[in-house]
Amino acid sequence: MNDTVVDSSADRRTELQHGNGSSIATGARSVIGGARKFGRRSFVKGLAIGGASLLPLASTLTAQDDKNQKPQNITKGDADILRFLAAAEILETDLWQQYTEFSTLDGPYMDALETIDDDMPVYVVQNTNDEFSHGNFLNAFLAKNHQQPVNLEPFRTLPGSPVAPKPTPRLTNLMHLNVDTSWYLRYRSTGNPDLGATFGQVVTIKDRPGIPVKDQSLYTADQIQAIANTAAFHFAMIEQGGSSLYDALSLNCSTPLALRIVTSIGGTEVAHFEIWHDKAGDAPPVDSGDGLVFPDLNTNPDTTTNLVMPRPCAFISDDLPLCSIIRPTSIPLAGASAAVKFLTDTGLFVGQSPAFFKLLAELADAADSAGRNNKDA
């Protein structure tokens, strides 16, 4: 693996600093009527254009004082876990950046997201910045501790949407998504996949884009809403997967420091999921006219939209009381290799090279193999 850290140049920048995102959301809510939407859009667009450029990792490190430069002990297994998570966060950042480009662009797609919830564009931008902060921190921590960071830049070869505001080679593909919506039913069930429970799809989304792939004026209102709804369910799908991944890999950490990092970042994945779980339930019923149908979820008591907290489910064993938890959290179902297979099956890597999949498989296997007794050689 190339030991050069991920490129974080201005061409691939975070669209918003997190603190600014909070003030934007607050400011936007303080405006009412027509001015409210204008204010919100002005804020979001301004930050998307003028967001802070990201310093290269080397520059970030040299800005630290000597005391903070002292490496701290982590095992080889811990480094393997953090390295895979860094790769996962770099991939997440890439897909969220694509969503941010369109979420902050005035047009039917932004309107469709705001039909789901007025805050959708603001939250997309904030989520993008969160994911960048995770990947950048993990790579910086690895480098500081003389461990090999992750560089996925050689695989930034995929085309983005033909109508993207700024054409940029991508790591991920949002144009052929198979969105797994089983999480929606799973979190409303007393069943737990770790104990063998299985779940169907609340909406069948196969080979669909989550962003516009042609001039937005060429879509009907129902078609562009279906694309926005696809994105809404994809947002939650990604973040619930991250919640399970961090929880599962935390069990493999062998030092308190690594455990602190994994659980601290994992907590934000849970926060993201809860937001997007709530928003996905607000996706309006719509028929795209070409086979994609989003039902009225409130016509079925099993899919009612006001049940956004994880329903208590079986945990550890069936003879114990039900418990509200993240699920799954086992390595076979939620570990690194499971995450790679899941994301591959959802179409996120359509067009990637064999070398890309080989690298991800190697990183995932090392992370899953790390255990509490895995010490440095």
Phi, psi (deg, nearest 5) at residue 93:
-60, -40
Contacts 24+ apart (CB under 8 A), 168-173: 168/11, 168/12, 170/94, 170/98, 171/90, 171/91, 171/94, 171/352, 172/91, 172/94, 172/95, 172/98, 172/348, 172/349, 173/347, 173/348, 173/349, 173/350, 173/351, 173/352
The pLDDT, as a whole number, for residue 277 is 97
Cβ contacts of 147 within 8 Å, gap of 6 or more: 74, 79, 82, 83
> Taking the CA of residue 3 as centre, how many other CA atoms within 13 Å lie in the half-sphere pointing to its CB?
6
What type of residue is 235? F
3-state helix, strand, coil in the chain (%, to 5): 55, 5, 40
What does the block give as tokens for 62? 């040299």
- Residue 151 backbone phi and psi in degrees, to 5: -125, 110
Secondary structure (3-state) at 218 = helix
CB 186 within 8 A of CB 172: no
Helix axes 354-369, 336-345, angle to 10 degrees: 150
Comparing CA positions, the residue from 307, 306, 267, 270 lying closest to residue 186 is 307
Instruction: For residues 277 and 99, give the distance between their C-alpha atoms in angstroms, rounded to a whole number.
Output: 17
Query: What is the sign, positive or negative, of the torsion defined by CA atoms of 24, 6, 152, 68?
Result: negative
Please report, in tens digits, the pLDDT of each residue of the chain (377 residues total). Answer: 434 333 333 333 333 333 333 333 333 333 223 444 545 666 565 555 433 333 333 334 444 444 555 667 799 999 999 999 999 999 999 999 999 999 999 999 999 999 999 999 999 999 999 999 999 999 999 999 999 999 999 999 999 999 999 889 999 999 999 999 999 999 999 999 999 999 999 999 999 999 999 999 999 999 999 999 999 999 999 999 999 999 999 999 999 999 999 999 999 999 999 999 999 999 999 999 999 999 999 999 989 998 999 999 999 999 999 999 999 999 999 999 999 999 999 999 999 999 999 999 999 999 999 975 454 43
Token output for 343: 């994301």
Q: Which amino acid is at 212?
A: P
Cα 61 to Cα 143: distance, rounded to the nearest angstrom: 9
Cα–Cα distances in angstroms (integers) from residue 183 to residues 8, 122, 191, 264, in the given order? 32, 24, 12, 23
Phi, psi of 177 (to 5 degrees): -85, 135
177/137 Cα distance (integer angstroms): 29
Q: Cis link prior to 159 (omega < 30° from 0)?
A: no
Beta bridge partners of 224: none
* DSSP track, 285-322: PEE-SSS-EE--GGGSGGG-TT--SPPPB-BSBTTSPP
Neighbour-count burial of 348, counting CB atoms closer than 10 A to its CB (0-12 exposed, 13-18 middle, 19+ buried): buried
Domain parsing of the chain, residue ranges: 10-369
The predicted structure's pLDDT at residue 166? 87
Tokens representing residue 57 in the block: 């990792």
Q: Is the dihedral of CA 260, 66, 57, 375 positive or negative?
A: negative
Q: What is the pTM of this model?
A: 0.84
